[in-house]
Chain A
Amino acid sequence: MFDVLRSMRDMDVWVPRTVVQMRRLGVQSVPIALFIATFTGIVLALLSSYSFSGAVPLYFVGTLIGKTIMMELAPVLTGLALAGRIGANIAAELGTMRVTEQVDALETLAFNPLSFLVVPRVLAATVMVPLVVALAMAVGVTSGWITAISLLDLTTPEFLKGLRLFYEFKDIWFGLVKSASFGLGIAAIGSFKGLRTGGGAEGVGRATTEAVVISASMILVLDAFWAVILL
């Protein structure tokens, strides 16, 4: 990580490539994140209404959807999905470049592989994952709202009442801070595993698998860490 920080001095190298990585790692991840968020909102609305039948007012469906999606489900589920997509992408790409000696070629051409390959990916993931998660939050809450008014005996004012009931701004930035750490970790682990790849195609596959597994585990560990620190 210290090498990556030192490599950020070469801004002429990594800045132009960061936008490309932001599109590849962020924009192209939006569909899968929104897909997950949509169905998460639907299931959450139905599950909460099932759980609340009885003493708890039904407008707490809005409270549960808002809190859980913004603070937990959108960041974690999106992070896990992006761990598979981004982590595998970075590890496989960099691993292939390593086994095909493209990284060595860059070094031969006096390019810093970290500035050229790692910094753009890490920055792009750190910036774009929270933004993708923010969209996932909005879509997840919206799908939960539509489910509540369509399939449950709940009106829009009631849903919004529950949604606003215990809302704090911390609910949003807590999820975004977690997401940024997830993006940073996923890109860093994928880059690390990719650049450390050896053993040909088999090594690339192994590095990719390890990057995804470690990234997913890291997401859960960071999730608990931030819960302890920020809540």
Chain B
Amino acid sequence: MRRRDEVLVGTTIIASLAAIIFGALYLSKASLWTSTEIRVARFRTTGGLGVGAPVNLRGVRVGRVNVIRLGEQNLVEVDLQINQDAVASGILPERPGVIAASASLFGEWEARLIDLDLPPDDANVLADLSLVIESSDDGAWPGATLPDIGELTAQASRIAGNITDISDRVTTVLDDEAVGELQQSISDFANTVQNINALAEQQRDVFGTVSQNVERTSDLLADAAMRLQLTLARVDSATSEGELSTIMANTATISTDAAAMLGDLGSIVGVVRANEATIGRLFAGADTVLAKLETGRGTAGLLLSDSALYQEATLAITELRSLIADIQANPRKYFKFSVF
């Protein structure tokens, strides 16, 4: 009897302990046969992250949160129990970081491993990560916390409230009178559309003619374009035979000569400007002489205006020439030289 009692009691104890141990291990998702490594992560705050929370990499569980404790510099240290398989396989990021975030709407939290080379596009997260990186130099993984679902819900609630306000205001603006006016506007717009349709029907022939003209114009433009193309082809050929180069060279030479001429002309103009006063006086004197000539004053004027004087002068010149010729012929007749 006593032996039977011992067997029964022993069996019950073993069964109970087995139920406790197996149940605890199974429910905590822990395994006695999976080796793990501890990695320390630091957070400014861990939010709702708790011991036993899963550690996920790209959505796949690779470990669990082992310990959460307060650390130095107002940071929180979290020991992450990472499966040895994940560490050995090299799937962890080169520069890992940890994001603590809600896993569902019902308060579950998880630690997500991220690559710091591909950080999330969130200013608060980046600020938290930078703070931890600056504060830690012992290789601890920097961590950041996403807003709690409660905060997001509160934000969504505020947005919903704002939308309600806008809806109320729209409702206030769109009273019965406004709706009637809007309906009238729509009706008017419909009438306008009908009128436009009628006008379009009327203008259909005109549009046809215009279209034909446009088509013809288009043909002409095409013809002109063809001719222009031929001209350009000729220009191209001329260019290719060197004629255009020769013309351009000649033109350059002419331009050089013209520039030289303009330079000379400029010099002349400069001389003229320098002697402007003299020339002015010369012209003034010429004007005076010409005026006297025209009025028959002075010797030249008298010669020009009095024919008798001209004839006498001519006669005198003739006689003077005769005299000179006589002198040349008979100098001793007129000149007498003696030394002593």
Contact = CB atoms under 8 A, between A and B. Distances in A.
Contacts of B108: 165-166
Interface in B9-62: 9, 12-13, 15-17, 19-20, 23-24, 27-29, 51-52
A172 interface: yes
A2 interface: no
Given A19-B9, A27-B9, A131 B17 contact: yes
A163 B23 CA distance: 11
B27 A167 contact: yes
B9 A135 contact: no
A interface, size bucket: 20 to 34
A168 interface: yes
Majority secondary structure of chain B interface residues (helix, strand, loop or mixed): helix
B12 A30 contact: yes
Contact of A60 (B16, B23, B106): B106
Given A131-B13, A138-B19, A168-B52, A20 B2 contact: yes
Contacts of B15: 135
Interface string A18-32: 011011001100100
B20 A176 contact: yes
Contact of B19 (A27, A60, A135, A163): A135
A199 B8 CA distance: 37
A176 B23 CA distance: 13
Identify the 9 closest CB pairs spanning chains A and B, nearest first: A131-B16, A138-B19, A23-B5, A167-B27, A134-B16, A22-B9, A27-B8, A134-B20, A27-B12
A193 B106 CA distance: 49
A20 B12 CA distance: 13
A86 B9 CA distance: 16
B19 A167 contact: no
B17 A167 contact: no
* Residue in B16, B19, B51 with the greatest tally of chain A CB atoms within 10 Å: B16
Contacts of B106: 57, 60, 165
A166 B109 CA distance: 10
21 contacts: A19-B2, A19-B6, A22-B9, A26-B9, A26-B12, A27-B8, A127-B13, A132-B12, A134-B19, A135-B15, A141-B23, A164-B29, A165-B108, A166-B107, A167-B27, A167-B28, A168-B28, A168-B52, A169-B52, A171-B27, A176-B20
Interface string A120-158: 000000011011101101100100000000000000000
Given A127-B13, A135-B19, 9 more contacts: A19-B6, A20-B2, A26-B9, A137-B23, A166-B107, A166-B108, A167-B52, A168-B28, A171-B27
Interface in B248-286: none
Nearest to B27: A167
A194 interface: no
A28 to B, nearest CB: 9
Contact of A138 (B2, B13, B23, B52): B23
Contacts of B51: 168
Contacts of A22: 5, 9
A163 B8 CA distance: 31
Interface string A29-67: 010000000000000000000000000010010000010
Interface string B60-98: 000000000000000000000000000000000000000
A172 B24 contact: yes
A75 B107 CA distance: 27
A20 B5 CA distance: 6
Contacts of B27: 66, 163-164, 167, 171
B67 to A, nearest CB: 14
A157 to B, nearest CB: 13
B65 to A, nearest CB: 12
Contacts of B13: 127, 131
A137 B19 contact: yes
Nearest to A70: B23
* Residue in B17, B20, B29 with the greatest tally of chain A CB atoms within 10 Å: B20
Contacts of B9: 19, 22-23, 26-27, 128
Contacts of A171: 27
A128 B12 contact: yes
Interface string A159-191: 000011111110110001000000000000000
Interface in B120-172: none
Nearest to B22: A138
A16 B6 CA distance: 10
Contacts of B23: 137-138, 141, 172
A64 to B, nearest CB: 12
A19 B11 CA distance: 12
Contacts of A128: 9, 12
B83 to A, nearest CB: 17
A23 B8 contact: yes
